[in-house]
Amino acid sequence: METAQLTTARPAPAVPARRDWSALFAYLLISPPLLVLTLLIFIPAAQAVIETLSTTDAATGQTTLTLQNYIAFFQDPILVANLEFTIQITIATVALLFVIGFPLALYLRFSKSRIAAAVQVLALFPLFVPGVILSFALIEFLGSHGMFDTMLNLIGIQGYRTPYQHLQGIVIALVWENIPFTVLILTAGLRQVEDAVVESARDVGANFWQIFTRILLPLSKRSAMIVLCLNIIGVFGAFTIPYLLGPAQPMTMGVSMQQTFNRYEDRTGALTQAVITFLFCAVVGVLYVRTITQPREGQR
Amino acid sequence: MGNIKRIAIVLLVLLIGSVVAACAGATNAPAPTSAPAAPTSAPAATNAPAATSAPAAGATPTQNAADIKPPSSGENVINMYSDDDSNIRDWLTNKIIPAFLQKFPQYKVNLISVRGVGNGPRDIADRAKAALDTNSDPLADILVFDCTTYPALRQADLWVKLDDTNVPNRKNVINSIKTSDCSQPYRGSQVLLAYDSTKVPENEVPHTFTDLLAWIKAHPGQFVYCRPDKGGSGSNFVVRAIYEVTGKDPSLFKPGDPDPALLAKFPDAWKLLRDIHSAIYDNGAYPAGNTQVQTLLANGSVSMASVWSDQSLQALQKGVYPPTIKLVQLNDLPFPGGYNYLSVPKNSRNVKGALEFINFLLEPDNQVSVVKDLGGFPAVDWSLLPKDLQQQYTSVITSNVPSWPGGKWTTELYKGWYDNVATNIKQGSP
């Protein structure tokens, strides 16, 4: 419905007749994805928001607009703890991804050795491992009396405490899972920095640190932003890994939603959590959209 | 030139990005329906429908089991619908049905699996009711279904009344599990304590719930039970704590809407469990399933745990548990469990054959097979089974298997446990 309005109303008044056709064609081309988005995402999302914003009086059957569900969320210490837990995991994971991903990307960008190819394959490997498999592998490996514990014992280290069913376990798995994406985008960004720029800097006597901070970092800011935004959104909404590796309490928002909906049979509560999660991700989403629509710096 | 190259790179990045995003989405998005099923539907889930199975709201029926039709129907055909796990279906197909046909060669038995299809046997029950109204063939003779879970059909008088005359072996069945005259229990499973006898000396083994709590507190980190919504071995431990604070009388808990007076006592149970929280394995790390608990016990991380009888007996048989693992039941009030029930619709075209099959399942030989081949509990009194078998299971034999009504009761249990026991946050005013 919305697309139909767009196609007829928008282009008609101002533009000349010949270009009208091409505009119509363009709108026609984008209408299927727009239709899918509207029907499967926007409408259900709007319904969810409306449901969480209204309460129906049991006695009179009257529906009123209220923030009651949201107030209840922020007054429930357990739900707030879940939100904080999710934010902690997101910050820790994304920070670690940069610490690991940036050196890897730099190495892959500038090394021409054969080892680099092997490192690239290794860095991309997690892309082909589903989260469920990864989680069970980590449980076996990191669990108490698991392989890691046994190895530590062999070299005489005792008192290992497993990260499984703790925040650390979730972070380890999420970092592992997201390395390929981070490295791919960062490497692609670094490849846009032409060799000539780096070489001329080297010619005038810049050391590695200077090249990194003055040239590479500013020029790959854009890809870093893309990685940052998409990783935050992905980690914040992650479900499988926190579900399988996390503690009973607190839970990440994804797990909490499932629990509230499925186990406590509280639909509105789950929807409220979903809307709050969406709002957090939307802020990052806006940042992402601004980054990719912004005109490129240093365009010649 | 440079522009084209740049655009190509951006396109490539976007393409890769979207592929990655799609992959990430694929692992994240469908998980709520697929992944959780794995940890919750451990083998025991089928043995104790009341305690382990997720609430119906969780299952999103994509199909209707009633669309499944048997290959044939009639006076000499027995169509049995089951949502059991494959180990149970294998046992029926390879062991019970051939033995039955040897004794009753006039019949043909079709075992039809409706596991994971719509609402399973419940859909078949609905179909039978529809057939009753229109006086047509329900195409069903036996359902793996407990008639008490669906009062509407019971009131509609859909089921054959079972008694000692039409099912002669019913007289041997443990009285407390004959919950109705429209369903017949034939095998069960119960939660027990499993302990490592090398670490827990015989004189320390707890035999009452109070002793157990004291033992847990005295041995921090050595006991574990799983999250109640992730496995019945955990939920029945929690149920046992609720029984403890409500006068140890399971009969107070009736199916349907929870009794507010009893709900008001739940916080006392949370207090009991909260008290042992920090003495649970890894400072209160509750595993997410029956199997994970078994693993912790088998690898020596803990020395005692609450477990399912059938899973543990199988674990001992298969060597998953070292032979030093021993099983014991509490003797003040045992841990709850569940039985598997069979029902026969009145309009079945072969009521006689269906009843004969049910009666056959209750024969002592087949009840022995329940214990030996399935690791389950018999529905008939233990005293009717061979002496050596009784001897072997003497520590776990009980004549009383409390059963939890499920439904809304379970919802209250989950929320109460997660909000009061598993968290370090004190729940303030609502």
**Predicted confidence pLDDT, tens digits, chain B (430 residues):** 445 556 555 555 554 545 444 443 333 333 333 333 333 333 333 333 333 333 333 344 457 888 888 888 888 999 999 988 777 889 999 999 999 999 999 999 999 998 878 788 989 999 999 999 998 899 999 999 988 878 889 889 999 999 999 999 999 998 878 888 999 999 988 899 999 999 999 999 999 999 999 999 999 999 999 999 888 899 999 999 999 999 999 889 887 789 999 999 999 999 999 999 999 999 999 998 898 899 999 999 999 999 998 888 888 888 899 999 999 999 889 899 888 899 999 999 999 999 999 999 999 999 999 988 887 888 998 888 998 888 878 777 777 778 888 778 988 999 999 999 998 776 544 3
* Domain assignment of residue A280, yes or no: yes
Does A250 sit behind a cis peptide bond, omega within 30 degrees of 0 on the bond before it? yes
Nearest to A168 by CA among A256, A88, A79: A88
Note whether A196 contacts B: Cβ–Cβ < 8 A: no
Indicate if the pLDDT at residue A12 is higher than 60: no
Q: Which of residues 75-104 of A touch B (CB under 8 A)?
A: 75-78, 81
pLDDT at A129: 92
Which pLDDT band holds residue A18 (cuts at 50, 70, 90)? low
Rounded Cα gap, residues B110 and B103, in angstroms? 16
C-alpha to C-alpha distance for A212 and B291, rounded to whole angstroms: 50
The verdict on residue A257 lying in a domain is yes
Residues A254 and A127 reside in one and the same domain: yes
Q: A141 and chain B: CB distance < 8 Å anywhere?
A: no
ipTM: 0.79
Q: Is the dihedral of CA B353, B359, B361, B363 positive or negative?
A: negative
The verdict on residue A56 lying in a domain is yes
C-alpha span between A186 and B319 (Å, rounded): 50
Kindly state whether residue A222 falls inside one of the protein's structural domains: yes
3-state secondary structure of B193: strand
A136 within domain boundaries: yes
User: B23, B237, B286: which to substitute to probe chain A, counting the most A Cβ within 10 Å?
Assistant: B23
My answer on whether A122 and A206 are in the same domain is yes
The verdict on a CB contact (< 8 Å) between B58 and A247 is no
User: Which one-letter DSSP state was computed for residue A89?
Assistant: H
Same fold across B65-187+338-392 and B190-337+406-420: yes
- Is the distance from CB of B338 to CB of B403 less than 8 angstroms? yes
**Which of A23, A44, A65 is the endpoint of a domain?**
A65
Domain locations along chain B: 65-187+338-392, 190-337+406-420
Same domain as A185, residue A57: no
Direct distance between the N- and C-terminal alpha carbons of chain A, in angstroms, rounded to an integer: 42
The listed CATH number (2.60.40.10, 1.10.1040.50, 3.40.190.10, 3.40.470.10) that belongs to domain B65-187+338-392? 3.40.190.10
Q: Any idea of the CA torsion for B62, B28, A262, A51, to the nearest 10 degrees?
A: -90
Co-location of A85 and A47 in the same domain: no
Which one-letter amino acid corresponds to residue A202?
A: R
**DSSP code, position B103:** H
Mutation site, B9, B423, B429, interface A, largest A CB count within 10 A: B423
The answer to whether residues A160 and A116 belong to one domain is yes
- Report yes or no: A286 at the B interface, CB cutoff 8 Å: no
Residue B121 has which token pair? Answer: 């046997």
* Same domain membership, residue A83 and residue A52: no
**pLDDT tier at A3, thresholds 50, 70, 90:** very low
Residue A70 maps to a domain: no
**In terms of CATH, what superfamily is B190-337+406-420?**
Periplasmic binding protein-like II (3.40.190.10)
What is the pLDDT, as a whole number, of residue A24?
87
A90 and A233 belong to one structural domain: yes
Judge if A87 and A212 occupy the same domain: yes
Residue A22 sits in the same domain as residue A89: no
Q: What is the pLDDT of residue A224?
A: 92
Residues paired with B144 in a beta bridge: B342
Q: Which domain holds residue A261?
A: 76-293
Look at residue A160 and give its three-state secondary structure: coil
Structural domain count of chain A: 2
Using alpha carbons, select from A167, A129, A126, A160 the residue that is nearest to residue A143: A160
Alpha helix positions (H), A77-213: 77-110, 114-124, 131-142, 147-154, 167-191, 195-203, 208-210
Question: Nearest-CA residue of chain B relative to A164?
Answer: B285
A124 and A158 fall within a common domain: yes
Looking at residue A257, which CATH number applies to its domain?
Answer: 1.10.3720.10
Residue A71 lies in a domain: no
Residue of A nearest to B59 (CA): A262
Please report whether residue A186 resides in a domain: yes
Q: Does the pLDDT value for residue A7 go beyond 80? A: no
Chain A residue with minimum CA distance to B5? A192
Q: Residue B410: which of B41, B117, B153, B56 has the closest Cα?
A: B56
Residue-wise pLDDT for A186-195, tens only, equals 999 999 888 8
Last residue of a domain, one of A36, A65, A94: A65
In this structure, the answer to whether residues A59 and A81 fall within a common structural domain is: no
pLDDT of A79 > 70? The answer is yes
The CA-atom distances, in angstroms, between A81 and each of A73, B130, B408, B417 are 11, 50, 26, 16
**What does the alpha-carbon distance between residue B355 and residue B100 come to, in Å, rounded to a whole number?**
12
Q: Do residues A243 and A107 share a domain?
A: yes
